Amino acid sequence: MEKISDKLYSIVVLLENDDIKRISNQLKAHKNKKLEKLFKIMIDSLEKEISKEQAFKKIYDKEYKKEDDFLLRNECRLVYNLIKEYLIEKEVQNDRDNDELFNDYYFIKAIYQKKDKTIFNKEFYSLLDKSIEYHDFMRASQLCDIGFVATGAQQIQNFQNIKNAVETLEKQQDILGQFYTLKNYVINNRITNMHAILSTKDREQLNLSPRSNIEYDIKKYQNDLISYYKIISASLIESDIPKKIALMESGYGYIEKVAKVNREY
């Protein structure tokens, strides 16, 4: 018996009862009523097998033909995407409910997009301080990325601006390094405790040893963007033309690497 859609089934099976109710209500308001029928069939298929032919008959009120398969495939794609968007929105809402810095972070992003410097500088450092206070490594890292673009990339006009950008980035790099070290000490402590409660046999099987002396390795925080600014900065004061060109080419190499990851750069 040919199944309706393995891909659609794989996401439907993840849904809990509350999810099913919410998605069903969304589909009731959808102008394409076939999607509501298909979703109900997929929910029923969790309890009993339903063939593609049976589903097609219920949705389109006609017999299934191979040449009409694209119709069902299209409906399956639409329902899959709707469930995907629902799950994304659910997780975003969970983050918003459980993350005290969530709203402020997206406010910072909005201000940055408006290219406002006055409000941005005040709100940025206030939120960065909160991230430090809450030991929120990931949020601090995200903020430093935005701060780099706002204080550096948008203001490259002369040597002094680039120098200021480098100093800002290095300060942010140091903050992230402190977070990195703190995070590793927490992990180290957990591994040490685990080592203490395990038997010798279990330790050997897990190849687990007590950890100590975790140091912050600045090489792990070498930033292509910082390297770019340093090279461009050096190129501006280099009088030898061939060396200047070589520095510029090297700098562009760094920025191209970063641009592949973040189009804002």
Give dist(CA 120, CA 64) in Å, integer: 59
In the prediction, which pLDDT does 231 show? Answer: 77
Query: CB under 8 Å to 107, separation ≥6 — which residues?
Result: 123
CB atoms within 10 A of CB 69: 13
The amino acid at residue 68 is D
In the prediction, which pLDDT does 216 show? Answer: 45
In the prediction, which pLDDT does 261 show? Answer: 58
In the prediction, which pLDDT does 214 show? Answer: 45
Give Cα separations from 52 to 32, 73, 199 (angstroms): 19, 10, 54
pLDDT along the chain (265 residues), means of 10: 88 95 94 95 92 92 91 95 96 91 91 82 85 77 74 56 64 66 59 68 70 49 63 76 86 74 55
Give dist(CA 24, CA 30) in Å, integer: 10
In the prediction, which pLDDT does 83 show? Answer: 97
Give dist(CA 114, CA 89) in Å, integer: 25
In the prediction, which pLDDT does 151 show? Answer: 64
Q: Please give the span between the terminal C-alpha atoms of the chain, in angstroms, as a whole number.
A: 52
CB atoms within 10 A of CB 26: 16
Q: In whole angstroms, what separates CA 157 from the centre of its chain?
A: 31
Give dist(CA 163, CA 125) in Å, integer: 20
Give dist(CA 122, CA 150) in Å, integer: 13
Give dist(CA 172, CA 203) in Å, integer: 39
In the prediction, which pLDDT does 208 show? Answer: 65
